[in-house]
Structure 1
Amino acid sequence: MLILTYKKTFSLWLLLAAALLFPCAVQADITIKDSQREITFNETPTRVATLSWELAEDVIELGVTPLVVPEIKAYQEWVAKPAMPSSTMEIGNRAEPNIELLAQLKPDVILISDTLKSLRPRLERIAPVVFFDTYRADHNNAKQADWTFLTIAKLLNKTDMANKKLAERDRVLMALKAQLNSAFPNGVPPVTSIRFASTTSAYVYGHNSMPQYALDLLGIKSALSLPTSQWGIHQQRLKKLKAVENGIVLYFKPFYQEQKLQASRLWQAMPFVINKQTASVESTWTYGGAMSLKYLAEALTAALLTVAL
């Protein structure tokens, strides 16, 4: 009996010593709160399925390769940054992921946004689901993007990296703002950013849109006043952009009718075109995650600098 007690005590001491010497070997549960509920994981997920682009961005920025992402070719064209890892698999489209394939791949966790909210019960038969209500009219989409990023970072044991990324974003924004102030000594004129729907209509980014949040952080006012919406966008007939008389209009690529637009009389009659106060913006995702604000600010600044020349 004494021998058994001694062995048990000795084993306990070994476990305690291991915990002190190798703290990573003993991991506490991870509890996070998504947009609906609190979820606890026994260990850090490694096989992470991301079923929306903004969540895929966050995971990649944190140095984790997503197991799956929808519409990878389109992501590479429209989102571009951060680059999609070559080992990430295609999982169908953003509205209808391939659930059968997802089940076969056995992820540790599935990250979804509002588009797939109704599928949560079905997806939970495969793996724990973390839901993020990323874009809404009644909250600040930029702040929500940061909260989502930090929540995912906690889940993936990457909080230190996330904080460093956000600090780096702030430093980049300050540098870009100084660059613009130097290029526009009298102040940057008000700016409106758009994405063309056709040669006669456009989606105008206003309050609660990520492009406008990026412009706000650069100290630039909007050239048009628009009401708040879920995505911060409003589709307008192109002729309504005539209201931007003394401001700058920047339009996001890709736009495959750009040559046709440039030749149209309607476009040529715009005050900002006549005054050479317009430029294209390299492809940058306008509905992205926390770090997309940095990429948007960089792309918008590069376009504005062409106007300042």
Structure 2
Amino acid sequence: MSRRTATASAVAFAALTALVLTGCGTTSVEASGDDTSSEPVSQSCENDSTTTSTDPVTLTDDLGRTVELDKPAERVAVLEWQQTEDLLSLCVTPVAVADAEGYSTWDTAEKLPEGVADVGTRQEPSLDAIFGEDPDLVIVEVSSPDDEIVSQLEAYDVPVLATVGADAAEPIQHMKDTFSLIAEATGRSERAGVVLDEFDTALAEAKDAVADADLETMDFVYFDGWAQGGNVAIRPFGQGSLFGELGEELGLTNVWSGEVDPVYGLGQTDVEGLVEVGDAMLIYTGTDDPESDSVVDLLADNDIWASLPAVERGDVYAFPSGIWTFGGPRSAEQAIDAYVDLLTA
């Protein structure tokens, strides 16, 4: 599976399918011999006027490690998609990323410029390729304090910033904190403040829009799935999931009550398990997984699926393709927009 596998392999269907320049504006780099400076990191960065700090950096990462930099990082290698998106939202072009093709499929919140080096998969990146790009910081996502990727990278004597992908106790705040941590490491905290203010504004406006909508039910379940050989596995985004929490912030009620993992808030079920959600509307990830058959297409011929109240009344919705369910503020804004569009249509 191509999605969340490296740090959430225990929950991302494994069990189911046995499943810078100093100053103002855009920071850009040369990667793999290609000059990316002529291509803006994102549309919002074209008019960015925030400043980049030049002060030394001392921070504590998600593993409690002290990371010290003589100056904010400019040449950053990043090995997970949320953190790649975060860098781009901060108007910093990474010198290297893991699985650039997958990122471009699953995360459309920020476009990855041409010329950024692809250093292999998120699960098994090439260390030689990473350090061949001469980074002054490597950002990784870890699942535990003893994750071996940290010690492997530290052997190259380059600072490593370890981040944890999620926290089901406070998924939205954790998403923001990760973004702010990367901003601090790159001297882009002023830019981070702008992006986070825009997120908060979008959330507040969307909440008002949903409150004004005449909805038949406020109950919902968001899910994605995996299908192979006719077998369908469903992953509900329960309490503690980022997209589930965004829905609840908008005034909806996430009614998935099954067991979820303590990090991402993700559950595991099959089509029979969806009977338990009653009259709730069903919302699912709209990105076509190149490594999976279409879950909803397969469910279309399933009698249990057809009998679900949401299916009978046409209350089943796909989010637009390319909204990364484990992303940063910009992906979260995309999700907010998608919720509003489908609920107020």
Instruction: State the TM bucket, normalised to the shorter chain.
Output: 0.7 to 0.9
1:214 correspondence with 2:253? no
Which segment drifts farther, 197-206 or 297-306? 297-306
- Distance of 1:91 and 1:160 partners within structure 2: 30
Aligned to 1:271: 309
Aligned to 2:265: 232
Q: TM-score, normalised on structure 2?
A: 0.76
Write the letter of the residue equivalent to 1:272: A
Aligned to 1:88: 116
Aligned to 2:299: 261
Structure 1 unaligned regions, length at least 5: 1-23
- Distance of 1:210 and 1:27 partners within structure 2: 33
Aligned to 1:37: 65
SS at match of 2:223: strand
Cα shift at 1:106: 1.1
1:193 correspondence with 2:222? yes
Write the letter of the residue equivalent to 1:211: F
Aligned to 1:12: none
Change in CA separation of 1:268 and 1:228 when aligned onto 2, cut-off 3 Å: closer
Count of aligned positions: 281
Write the letter of the residue equivalent to 1:193: Y
Write the letter of the residue equivalent to 2:270: R
Change in CA separation of 1:164 and 1:211 when aligned onto 2, cut-off 3 Å: same
Cα shift at 1:263: 3.4
- Distance of 1:181 and 1:141 partners within structure 2: 23
Which segment drifts farther, 124-133 or 250-259? 250-259
1:293 correspondence with 2:336? no
- Distance of 1:107 and 1:262 partners within structure 2: 48
- Distance of 1:188 and 1:33 partners within structure 2: 44
- 2:203 maps to which of 173, 178, 182: 173
Cα shift at 1:215: 0.7
SS at match of 2:212: helix
Which segment drifts farther, 96-105 or 285-294? 285-294
Cα shift at 1:228: 4.5
Write the letter of the residue equivalent to 2:85: E
> Does the aligned pair in 2 maintain the 1:113–1:131 contact within 8 Å?
yes
Structure 2 unaligned regions, length at least 5: 1-50
1:135-177 CA distance string (max 9 Å, x none): 245x423222211111111111111111111111111112222
- Distance of 2:56 and 2:213 partners within structure 1: 51
Cα shift at 1:83: 1.6
Within a 5 Å distance, the mapping from 1:80-159 to structure 2 comes to 80-114=108-142, 117-126=147-156, 127-136=158-167, 139-159=169-189
Which segment drifts farther, 128-137 or 157-166? 128-137
Cα shift at 1:27: 4.5
> Does the aligned pair in 2 maintain the 1:190–1:222 contact within 8 Å?
yes
Higher helix share: 1
SS at match of 2:267: strand
- Distance of 1:188 and 1:274 partners within structure 2: 14
- Distance of 1:39 and 1:119 partners within structure 2: 16
| Runs ≥4 residues deviating over 4 A | none
Q: TM-score, normalised on structure 1?
A: 0.84
Aligned to 1:71: 99
- Distance of 1:153 and 1:237 partners within structure 2: 40
SS at match of 1:32: strand
- Distance of 2:111 and 2:281 partners within structure 1: 30
1:28 correspondence with 2:59? no
- Distance of 1:220 and 1:118 partners within structure 2: 40
SS at match of 1:142: helix
Aligned to 2:344: 305
- Distance of 1:188 and 1:175 partners within structure 2: 20
